[in-house]
Chain A
């Protein structure tokens, strides 16, 4: 696994950067140029969405930041707290599917990152309980994944990402497969978690409405190879709740983001 280079020097602390990508490209073994060159800076505590059509390299960018894949060229910098024993702790990752271990309970699924890092059982128990409570699943701690609804499984996945208390939360279209009602609830809950926990969140989505509702900044990406097409700051009234979802302010932002997205629509022949 390629280690993302830690941000060093004054940039890490003073400028408060959590993630910095410089001229990052990714060409897969098949020869497909998936990404870049991409320059991206995310401040600590910021909620940023990467928005774009399918196959524009959003997920690739996220996997590069997580260190799950290595970039073909360019540098990926991820800020780390000094007290981190292991690199993996700094980052929590939520996949598009819940990606749970079907053979074990909610508790054990959430405990996994702590088990892998050898966290003492007593401390691990407390943190697992806390993470499970944060996503509202305390009653289902002993349930198996197959006994849960799609939304609940996604909550387990989120709890697992939160259990290590990461600085950065990477989310790869986590709610795309859910129905709209469940998605709205999870959006609300994610926002209140973000307000309380002050994590840096990079959220990949192909929903204009979701990106506007959640983020402080929407980065619109163009079709393959993915580059930044536009950046739109969503400086809306805080805190955002259900009122925001139906406000003209929200509609205005959605219109601006949609217009920015229009040039990156796939050509009709590609569909």
Chain B
């Protein structure tokens, strides 16, 4: 048998991906530049006052001048988001594992997970703010919107294990823990990472919603609170600056999670392999 020569590893075709990649980065940048230019032009030509619509320059100058306040707010919002995200990740995965081990638990609790998900968080936030300390309530909001995608994706992943592989594990007398560790978790990893990617963005939304709901009642001073506060004071450039920071934070969170997912899966999973070779 050893004398046999199997065909060697398939030659990997490398199409002209470099140019395509450059175009994919360049095009959105061009669109952004054009939009900023148009915005600036509209403000200047129509002499729109900054308290109605500030130009991009004014927003940028505010971002610099108000940086001490805004950076502090950014820090607070990010901290809430990260804590909410971590809680969502841990809670979602743990609950999915529990559901996977016991149908009884799944049937008992799953409907409530759905109810928590479909009830708008903006409607829950004021209640949470009454019963919980403000910082806890804000994190709870971030958790509520973030945990469901993790839960449902992880559940899907754990149930998507190859039937024959599962049979093989039974044949060799694998314990539940072994099946979980060597089969179900690795097989579910792409799904879990997909869920986390969605949960990252949602946690930011949850944090912002809770901060807005807390509003003037709270002592918090996250970015959303800054936006609300600046609105009352007609400090429109600062509103835009805070909004800009929120967007950037969302993009960075998504980018980091997408990168993590790619690095974890690039060796074997179709979704990541395609980009590499």
Contacts and interface: CB of A to CB of B under 8 A. Distances in A.
B268 A1 contact: no
Interface string B193-213: 000000000000000000000
Contacts, number: 87
A99 B162 contact: yes
Nearest to A68: B167
A97 B164 contact: yes
Max count, chain A CB within 10 A of own CB: residue among B2, B6, B167, B169? B6
Contacts of A135: 1
Interface stretch (B19-27, B64-72, B83-91, B171-179): B171-179
A74 interface: no
A97 B187 CA distance: 17
A242 B124 CA distance: 75
B2 A93 contact: no
B7 A101 contact: no
A87 B6 contact: no
Nearest to B183: A101
B6 A151 contact: yes
A146 B187 CA distance: 15
A112 B182 contact: yes
Contacts of B173: 86-88, 116-117
B274 to A, nearest CB: 11
A112 B172 contact: yes
B1 A95 contact: no
Contacts of A5: none
Interface string A207-246: 0000000000000000000000000000000000000000
A110 B183 CA distance: 14
Contact of A68 (B170, B183, B189, B269): B170
Interface in A146-183: 146-149, 151-152, 155, 164
Q: List the 7 closest A-B pairs by CB distance, nearest first.
A: A88-B172, A189-B1, A99-B164, A136-B2, A88-B173, A116-B172, A95-B164
18 contacts: A68-B167, A86-B172, A97-B164, A99-B162, A102-B268, A103-B268, A112-B182, A134-B1, A138-B2, A146-B268, A146-B273, A147-B10, A148-B6, A149-B6, A151-B6, A164-B172, A185-B4, A193-B1
Interface of A: 1, 63, 66-68, 86-89, 91, 93, 95, 97, 99, 101-104, 112-113, 115-117, 133-138, 143-149, 151-152, 155, 164, 185, 189, 192-193
